[in-house]
A and B are shown apart, each in its own frame.
Chain A
Amino acid sequence: MVYGLGLIGALALIWWVLSGHTEPLILGFGAFSILFSAGLAWRMIGGVDREVSPYLRAPRMLPYWSWLGGEIFKANVAVLKLALKPDIDLTPRLIRVKMTPKTDLGRTVFANSITLTPGTVSMDLEENEILVHALDASLADPHAFEDMGERAANAADAGENA
């Protein structure tokens, strides 16, 4: 129920930001389309759970996202240095990273974070590991991945059992 209200609240916010209308008729259409979308989500998944409606976790995710933003910036600069040097010298690597988060949402957040940081792309998800392709051996530091995995688990998994 809480998740359903979260979904409706988020849809309403997005609808209003995108339309900007306040006339009663248009608002009515908006309310209809929001309820219709929420109903579709309900029918498709058979109930709204935390994966359909992760909006209530936003306060937990915000510090993680700002940390991730800094990491993305650093990794971008590193990749550009590697790719734009007149003398290209790199050694691509395939590595396996331990999957720290337990829930599906946490696993998605972790795999997406790896892909978002340039220089590393998650190629395959296995039960307990992620196969990661790294542009250069210097970007494939296992400790950095462990750190990211723990942060992702803290942000997305906290208070949930898999």
Chain B
Amino acid sequence: MIGAEILSIIQNIVSVALVASGLVFVLAGAVGVLRLPDFYTRLHAAGVTDTLGAELVLIGLAVQAGFTLLAAKILLVGLFLFLTSPTSTHAIADAAHKAGLEPILKRFHPQPPGGKDK
């Protein structure tokens, strides 16, 4: 009885840790989208949310569900996301490239406002 309780506490801790770290990656990806200079570089930041962020949240939810059919469904969602998100990212990048949007290829190094060397 005690063993089962400890196991369920461990399960909760692992699941919350996975979901929380996934959310950190999603948040960081969103901040990156706001900070980076042009379309293509922002695409990279958005990719962080797609891959590690979403997968960590899904794995955390699967741990929460335990060894059930529900966990298998969640992992299936993760697998489909793993296979389809690069395809859509490539489609967007390819469309922008074909439409003639030129990427910035210069060094991007803005001075912080109010910096010393300004």
Partner of A133, one of B93, B108, B110, B112: B93
Q: How large is the interface on A (under 10, 10 to 19, 20 to 34, 35 or more residues)?
A: 35 or more
B66 within 8 A of A: no
- A122 partner residues in chain B, CB cutoff 8 A: 90, 93
Fill in one digit per residue for B24-46: 1 if any A CB lies within 8 Å of its CB, else 0: 01001101100110101101110
Chain A residue nearest to B111 in the complex (CB): A87
Please tell me if the beta carbons of B51 and A83 are within 8 angstroms of each other in the complex: no
Complex Cα distance A91/B47, Å?
A: 18
Please tell me if the beta carbons of B112 and A94 are within 8 angstroms of each other in the complex: no
Please tell me if the beta carbons of A88 and B109 are within 8 angstroms of each other in the complex: yes
Please tell me if the beta carbons of B97 and A131 are within 8 angstroms of each other in the complex: yes
- A133 partner residues in chain B, CB cutoff 8 A: 40, 43, 93, 103
Please tell me if the beta carbons of A20 and B86 are within 8 angstroms of each other in the complex: no
- A18 partner residues in chain B, CB cutoff 8 A: 73, 76
- Shortest C-beta distance, B59 to chain A (Å), equals 11
Please tell me if the beta carbons of B108 and A91 are within 8 angstroms of each other in the complex: yes
Please tell me if the beta carbons of B93 and A118 are within 8 angstroms of each other in the complex: no
Complex Cα distance A115/B48, Å?
A: 11
- Shortest C-beta distance, B109 to chain A (Å), equals 5
- B87 partner residues in chain A, CB cutoff 8 A: 112, 115
Please tell me if the beta carbons of B108 and A121 are within 8 angstroms of each other in the complex: no
**What's the tally of chain B residues with a CB closer than 8 Å to chain A?**
41
B106 within 8 A of A: yes
A-B contact count (CB 8 A): 117
- Shortest C-beta distance, A82 to chain B (Å), equals 8
A45 within 8 A of B: no
Chain B CB within 10 Å, residue with most, of A18, A20, A87, A90? A90
- Shortest C-beta distance, B101 to chain A (Å), equals 10
For window 94-136 of A, CB contacts with B under 8 Å fall at 94, 111-113, 115-116, 118-124, 131, 133, 135
B13 within 8 A of A: no
- Shortest C-beta distance, A153 to chain B (Å), equals 18
Partner of A17, one of B43, B47, B72, B106: B72
- A92 partner residues in chain B, CB cutoff 8 A: 38, 40-41, 103-105, 108
Chain A residue nearest to B28 in the complex (CB): A80
The 5 closest A-B pairs by CB, nearest first: A83-B32, A115-B86, A112-B86, A118-B47, A135-B44
